[in-house]
């Protein structure tokens, strides 16, 4: 089955590290990154969807980041 995650973070190197870590664990980029102003926090936020094929059945309580 294919798992889906949306990684988000403030526009800092932490976002790049989060995406790089996911890629190193076998996740693949899905679509283009997104970039938006978070008015409440006063910061720019980044987002990137990633997917991964796994050989387990999906359950709503699974920890996607651990896959």
User: What are the residue ranges spanned by the domains of the chain?
Assistant: 2-56
β-strands 43-53, 28-38 pairing: antiparallel
11-49 pLDDT per residue, tens? 999 999 999 999 999 999 999 999 999 999 999 999 999
Q: Say what the pLDDT of residue 63 is.
A: 85
Chain centre to alpha carbon of residue 17: 11
Answer yes or no: is pLDDT of 67 > 80. Answer: no
Q: Say what the pLDDT of residue 66 is.
A: 79
pTM to 2 decimal places: 0.87
């Amino acid at each position: 089955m294919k798992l889906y995650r949306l990684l988000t973070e403030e526009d800092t190197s932490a976002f790049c590290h989060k995406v790089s870590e996911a890629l190193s664990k076998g996740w693949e980029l899905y679509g283009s990154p997104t970039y938006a102003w978070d008015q409440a926090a006063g910061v720019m936020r980044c987002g990137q969807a990633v997917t991964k094929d796994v050989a387990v059945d999906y359950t709503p309580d699974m920890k996607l980041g651990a896959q």
